[in-house]
Amino acid sequence: MKKLTLQFLLILFAGFSYAQSEVAYLLNHTPNSDKIEVVLEFETLPSSSIKLVIPRSAPGTYELTNYFAFVDQVKGYTVSGKTLNGIMGDGSYFLFEESDESVKKISYEVDVRKMELDLLGSYASSKMRDNYLGILGYSVFGFVEGLESKPIELTINTNKDWPIFSTLRPSIEQKKGTDFYEVDNFSLLVDAQFLLGKAVQIFQVKDAEIPLFVAAYSETPINMEEIGRRGLLSLNGLANYFGYIPMPHYTMCYEFLKPISRLHDYGFSMEHLNSMTASMDTSKAILAYQENANIGTIVHHIGHSWLPLRSYGTGYRPFEWQTAPIIETIWMNEGFMWYISFYNVLNDKTIPFYFFNKNMDEAPDYIQEKSLKDLSILGSTQYGLDFRIGKNLFSRGALLAHDLDVVIQEKTSGEKSFKDAILGLLNWTKENGRAFEYDQIESIMSEATGVDLKDVWDEWQKPRKK
């Protein structure tokens, strides 16, 4: 009896300790407000040790985005309820007034309306429209430095009659007014999207190998079933290529918007671990069945759920939220996926190569004179700012993939291909649980294929023009 009681107490204590180690997030959305409130509660910390970090970048964005500019009314709260003002740091973070009491809670506001007005790339912003609030996790959620690996409990409060959808737990059945989520860490929280409001449309695609959803807000009529059909074609093509699907579920988040100015850019999409986001203007609305619809963008962004989201080089993960980290392998992240998407999944053997070579031939000297690694370093913050950089990175990466494929198939009499090299990278990351170093990439692919790929690798590392 004593042993059983002691065991019970130990289990109770372990559960209590886990609960205390969590960070509780609350997102409050008030009707008719341009802002949302975010509240963080955690184990008490000295006020002098607290740094509230606001992200300035996210995996795959390859740019700095000043989300800090939309955060205001930052407050800390002590155990007795005393309020401490947030103080801007010299980076993308807030400090707090000193106090003899420990702090247990932080709150701040995010001006979503201003965010959409000021950020010209529609893919980078959360949005407020009629009967709609669309949240990109990394655009509104900050973290207390040192707590980013803690498990998170998230509560969302909004209009009592507004449905809430999230890519964290996609479902046709949506709770209204309030919903609750458990997330393993900050990185997974901010990778997610949250679509709130009566104007949100949800569609679950039938006959998919995993739960597959379309979540959309549109200011013009759209055909949700056709979007889903294109997504299913894309997912099936990728599953056939890789031989498996790593995502437990997947959501395609679409916005079809009336542009708020001539300066705003609509058309870029973003990849996430178990979802993609596409922010388009209304002229790009998907209206009807098209047998030969161009699904290249969907294939490409779903494909990122394999590479680089689950196999990546240094800089991509663990992510440096306060800056745009230096990433040496953007050519792989983008170019390898271009090659897989168009050449293999879509079986387009000609057009991509004209496009890739044209991008490289028309590049200015400052791009052609850079090695593959140096161009990726430049692209870490300027991939889309000067899209000639981005286009040259994915073009070089795609053509490198093709040359590797040719050599692998020649040396193995067609028994192996570039796919085996990619699976080698994916398996290496799964086994090692970390990013690979730059000088490991070729050896991992060579070992996976049984072909010495060093000559091809070395040739593509050189500048295009000296």
- Return d(Cα 277, Cα 459) in angstroms, integer: 36
In this structure, the answer to whether residues 206 and 174 fall within a common structural domain is no
Check the CA dihedral 181-185-188-191 and report its sign. Answer: positive
In this structure, the answer to whether residues 353 and 218 fall within a common structural domain is no
Would 452 be classed as within a structural domain? yes
Would 4 be classed as within a structural domain? no
pLDDT-derived band at 9 (thresholds 50, 70, 90) equals: very low
CATH number of the domain that residue 64 is part of: 2.60.40.3650
What percentage of the chain has pLDDT greater than the value 90? Answer: 93
Closest CA to 178 of 193, 192, 194, 190: 194
In this structure, the answer to whether residues 151 and 179 fall within a common structural domain is yes
In this structure, the answer to whether residues 368 and 337 fall within a common structural domain is yes
pLDDT-derived band at 466 (thresholds 50, 70, 90) equals: confident
Whether the per-residue pLDDT at 11 is higher than 60: the answer is: no
- Can the peptide bond before residue 170 be classed as cis, meaning omega within 30 degrees of 0? no
Would 398 be classed as within a structural domain? yes
Residue-range definition of the domain harbouring residue 259: 201-303
- Return d(Cα 205, Cα 226) in angstroms, integer: 10
pLDDT-derived band at 352 (thresholds 50, 70, 90) equals: confident
Would 245 be classed as within a structural domain? yes
pLDDT-derived band at 357 (thresholds 50, 70, 90) equals: very high
3-state SS assignment for residue 272: strand
State the average pLDDT over residues 2-26.
52
Would 341 be classed as within a structural domain? yes
In this structure, the answer to whether residues 26 and 173 fall within a common structural domain is yes
pLDDT tens column, 198-245: 999 999 999 999 999 999 999 999 999 999 999 999 999 999 999 999
- 266 phi, psi to nearest 5 deg: -120, 130
In this structure, the answer to whether residues 180 and 212 fall within a common structural domain is no
Would 319 be classed as within a structural domain? no
In this structure, the answer to whether residues 356 and 281 fall within a common structural domain is no
- How high is the pLDDT of residue 392? 98
Would 439 be classed as within a structural domain? yes
Residue 347 token pair: 């079986």
State the average pLDDT over residues 287-297.
95
- Return d(Cα 330, Cα 325) in angstroms, integer: 11
pLDDT-derived band at 2 (thresholds 50, 70, 90) equals: very low
Whether the per-residue pLDDT at 6 is higher than 80: the answer is: no
In this structure, the answer to whether residues 141 and 107 fall within a common structural domain is yes
How many structural domains does the chain have? 3
pLDDT-derived band at 150 (thresholds 50, 70, 90) equals: very high
216 in Cβ contact with 256 (< 8 Å): yes
- How high is the pLDDT of residue 7? 40
- How high is the pLDDT of residue 5? 44
Whether the per-residue pLDDT at 21 is higher than 80: the answer is: no
In this structure, the answer to whether residues 105 and 172 fall within a common structural domain is yes
- Return d(Cα 386, Cα 62) in angstroms, integer: 12
In this structure, the answer to whether residues 219 and 257 fall within a common structural domain is yes
State the average pLDDT over residues 117-131.
96
State the average pLDDT over residues 108-135.
97
The answer to which of 12-16, 142-146, 235-239 has the lowest mean pLDDT is 12-16
Q: What is the reported pTM?
A: 0.94
Would 95 be classed as within a structural domain? yes
Helix, strand, coil percentages for the chain (3-state, nearest 5): 40, 25, 35
- Return d(Cα 101, Cα 332) in angstroms, integer: 50
In this structure, the answer to whether residues 63 and 166 fall within a common structural domain is yes
Residue 72 token pair: 């205001």
In this structure, the answer to whether residues 289 and 346 fall within a common structural domain is no
Q: Tokens 């955690």 belong to which residue?
A: 42
pLDDT tens column, 71-93: 999 999 999 999 999 999 999 99
Average pLDDT over the chain, rounded to an integer = 94
CATH number of the domain that residue 279 is part of: 1.10.390.10
- Return d(Cα 87, Cα 97) in angstroms, integer: 7
Residue 29 token pair: 């959305």
Whether the per-residue pLDDT at 189 is higher than 70: the answer is: yes
**Which of residues 179, 194, 209 is at a domain's end?**
194
**Which of residues 285, 303, 321 is at a domain's end?**
303
| C-alpha to C-alpha distances, 102 to 97, 143, 146, 172, nearest whole angstrom | 11, 17, 16, 43
- Return d(Cα 3, Cα 16) in angstroms, integer: 20
- 63 phi, psi to nearest 5 deg: -165, 165
